[in-house]
Amino acid sequence: MVNKYPLVRQEKESWSLPACLQTIIKLRRIYEPSQREIAESLGVDNDFEGNLRGRIEEFLERYSLGCRYENPFTNMRGDGLLLEAELNHKTDVIAAYDWNGVHHRNGKPRKHFSIVLCCDSNGERMVVRDSLGSDNMRIDAISLKKFRSAVKPMEYEGYGFYMIDD
């Protein structure tokens, strides 16, 4: 696994998505907006409500980037194989999920976004990278079965995978 992504520290606890988008834009050597600019553009200063998919697509269009959304319950077949294929085609993938659900923490669901670094060849696990407000990156191997259990479409329609490319 090669971690090609630049170090970007998440500036606020609720800004996992702005940190992921800033990282991808920085990697592609495009003008680098601040996380505050991204959060304000997406309207996600503290929470991720409403049509987030449309707002992400609109935001990325400014940088000539496209975004496709995939939900593991509605339109993805063999999500591990799809992820592996996407990652091999220079597509950046952001996973959106319930952090507490993946990490078996009690409490209300916590919407979280991580950059997917790779997916194993048998499609059972993905490796994600986070920056949770510290100088160190957190890298987790998450089973796709566990991930699917933390993607609850009735709870939040924005959970799933965001595929970002030119």
Residues across the chain: 166
- Residue 157: is its pLDDT beyond 80? no
Work out the average pLDDT over 156-164. Answer: 85
Instruction: Give the pTM.
Output: 0.85
Domain spans of the chain, in order of start: 16-165
For the chain, state the CA radius of gyration.
15
| Model confidence pLDDT, tens digit, residues 106-150 | 777 778 899 988 887 676 888 888 776 555 567 788 888 888 878
CATH 3.40.50.1000 is right for the domain spanning 16-165: no
Q: How far is CA 87 from CA 15, 54, 90, 113, in A?
A: 24, 22, 6, 17
The reported pLDDT for the residue numbered 75 is: 55
- Residue 90: is its pLDDT beyond 80? no
